[in-house]
């Protein structure tokens, strides 16, 4: 696992933007795995600026989002499809027809999850998967106790996740309690994975992800099994790490060797 500790959240977004730009330059037809929530919003703003400046193009790319709420249609303001359209897709040169988010109002959510897995396989698999992390260590909506080899499926949210995401819903709005999410096995199949975390409230989850035992109790710890996983955090999210000094030093060496 490559652990990159940067001074602040803007640096984290800039680092991730470089990674996506490199991916799209090396392979314009890349299949990108995308995420919603607070963690990627600065990254998406940076992607938009770079695309408008002509430094980045999504014109041949395909994307698959991690998850969607069961019961919310794509035009619902709190749906993840709506989030992606607003935060990224409507502002860059991506072909909307090649952006995929599970259909939250599919007649049969289980069949929709199977279809989603098939679509990812048909597209050739995910080249670069973006992740955030929940305060309980979830990735996608794979809550603690999720099987480490799970595939896209319906997953009931924990009380802590429902509470953490209640900030996006109005008092009189019904907040869904179930989701469709790529599984941990689906995420681990991506050729490269990058997880972003900023802020002190993520420090415990990052410790579990990076230094904890590989365990269903902290789904993000499964990234320890991935050959090409990069965890990019700010100082605050790195605060609980025992190996922090080593990680900073190792990253300096990594960059020096890249320049050789």
Kindly determine how many residues on this chain lie close enough to bind ligand F6R according to the rule CB under 6 A: 14
| Annotated catalytic residue 138 | yes
Pattern 61-80, ligand F6R, x by CB under 6 A:
-----xx-------------
| Annotated catalytic residue 163 | no
Catalytic residue among 138, 142, 226, 234: 138
Q: Residue 37, interface with ligand F6R (CB under 6 A)? A: yes
Task: Work out how close the CB of 38 gets to ligand F6R at its nearest, in angstroms, rounded to a whole number.
Answer: 4
Task: Work out how close the CB of 85 gets to ligand F6R at its nearest, in angstroms, rounded to a whole number.
Answer: 14
Nearer to ligand F6R, 36 or 51 (CB): 36
Among the candidate windows 9-17, 50-58, 99-107, 132-140, which touches ligand F6R by CB under 6 A? 132-140
Pairing mode, strands 67-69 and 62-65: unpaired
Tell which positions 135-154 bind ligand F6R, by CB under 6 A: 138-141
Nearer to ligand F6R, 37 or 94 (CB): 37
Nearer to ligand F6R, 58 or 137 (CB): 137
The rounded distance, in Å, linking the Cα atoms of 109 and 150 is 16
Asked if 234 and 7 touch (Cβ cutoff 8 Å), the reply is yes
| Annotated catalytic residue 172 | no
Which of 12, 35, 47, 237 binds ligand F6R (CB under 6 A)? It is 35
Q: Residue 38, interface with ligand F6R (CB under 6 A)? A: yes
- The string over 139-154, giving b where at least 16 C-beta atoms fall within 10 Å of a residue's C-beta and e elsewhere, is bbbbbbebebebbbbe
Nearer to ligand F6R, 148 or 248 (CB): 148
Task: Work out how close the CB of 232 gets to ligand F6R at its nearest, in angstroms, rounded to a whole number.
Answer: 13
Task: Work out how close the CB of 191 gets to ligand F6R at its nearest, in angstroms, rounded to a whole number.
Answer: 19
Task: Work out how close the CB of 243 gets to ligand F6R at its nearest, in angstroms, rounded to a whole number.
Answer: 23
DSSP letter string over the chain? -EEEEESSHHHHHHHHHHHHHHHHHH-TT-EEEE--SSTTHHHHHHHHHHHHTTS---TT-EEEESEEETT--TTSTTSHHHHHHHHTGGGSS--GGGEE---TT-SSHHHHHHHHHHHHHHTT--SEEEE---TTS-BTTB-TT--TT--SEEEEPPHHHHHHHGGGS-TTSPPPSEEEE--HHHHHTSSEEEEEE-SGGGHHHHHHHHTSPSBTTBGGGGGGG-TTEEEEEETTTTTT-TTHHHHHHHHHHHHHHHT-
Catalytic residue among 65, 136, 142, 165: 136
| Annotated catalytic residue 91 | no
Active site positions, annotated:
67, 136, 138, 143
State the residues that interact with ligand F6R by CB under 6 A: 35-39, 66-67, 132-134, 138-141
């Amino acid at each position: 696992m490559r652990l990159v500790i940067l001074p602040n959240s803007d640096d984290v977004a800039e680092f991730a933007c470089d990674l996506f730009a490199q991916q799209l330059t090396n392979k314009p037809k890349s299949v990108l795995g995308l995420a919603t929530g607070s963690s990627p919003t600065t990254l998406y703003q940076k992607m938009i600026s770079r695309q408008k400046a002509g430094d980045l193009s999504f014109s041949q790319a395909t994307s698959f989002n991690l998850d969607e709420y069961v019961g919310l249609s794509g035009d619902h303001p709190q749906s993840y499809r709506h989030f992606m359209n607003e935060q990224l897709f409507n502002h860059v040169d991506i072909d909307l027809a090649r952006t995929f988010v599970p259909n939250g109002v599919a007649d049969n959510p289980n069949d929709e999850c199977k279809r989603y897995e098939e679509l990812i396989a048909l597209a050739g698999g995910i080249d670069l998967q973006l992740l955030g992390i929940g305060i309980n260590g979830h990735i996608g909506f794979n809550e603690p106790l999720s099987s480490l080899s799970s595939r896209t499926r319906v997953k009931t949210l924990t009380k802590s996740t429902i509470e953490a995401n209640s900030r996006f819903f109005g008092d009189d709005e019904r907040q869904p309690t179930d989701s469709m999410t790529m599984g941990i096995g689906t995420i681990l199949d991506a050729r490269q994975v990058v997880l972003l975390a900023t802020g002190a409230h993520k420090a415990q989850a990052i410790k579990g992800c990076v230094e904890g035992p590989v365990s269903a109790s902290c789904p993000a710890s499964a990234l320890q099994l991935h050959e090409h996983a990069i965890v990019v955090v700010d100082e605050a999210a790195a605060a609980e790490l025992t190996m922090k000094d080593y990680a900073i030093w190792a990253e300096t060496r990594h960059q020096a060797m890249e320049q050789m």
